[in-house]
Amino acid sequence: MEGLPLLLYKLANVNYEDEKSCYSEISLALADFHLPSISEEDYENLNEEQQNIFKKQNLRVERTLRSLIFPALRNRFLPSSELEEYIKELTSTAKAFKHFGRC
């Protein structure tokens, strides 16, 4: 969770006026946030206990994103009036489940 303040800072400084740079900057901010905090080589050099701790920390971050951050953005994000017409909800979990739940 130590990367969350930097993620929020990067998202706050995105150029929301230009669609192309907006998508690019948001994608880069999210990608940077999801990168492991250590290299694969360093991870392999950790002992089993340290690897388990690292995995648990990553799971906690993922759960926090899925259960807290993303729902808050979905439910409470209020775009400016200039951007409102350009932001559309593509789908929701409920709609996707209705469509794919029978598969």
Write down the domain spans for the chain.
1-35, 39-103
The per-residue pLDDT for range 33-54, each reduced to its tens digit, is: 877 677 778 888 999 999 999 8
According to the model, what pLDDT value does residue 60 have? 87
Average pLDDT, the chain: 81
Phi and psi of 30, rounded to 5°?
-65, -40
According to the model, what pLDDT value does residue 11 have? 92
According to the model, what pLDDT value does residue 13 have? 92
DSSP category for residue 1 = -
Predicted TM-score (pTM) of the model is 0.44
According to the model, what pLDDT value does residue 1 have? 65
Question: 75 vs 41, 55, 79, 82, CA distance in Å?
Answer: 39, 29, 12, 19
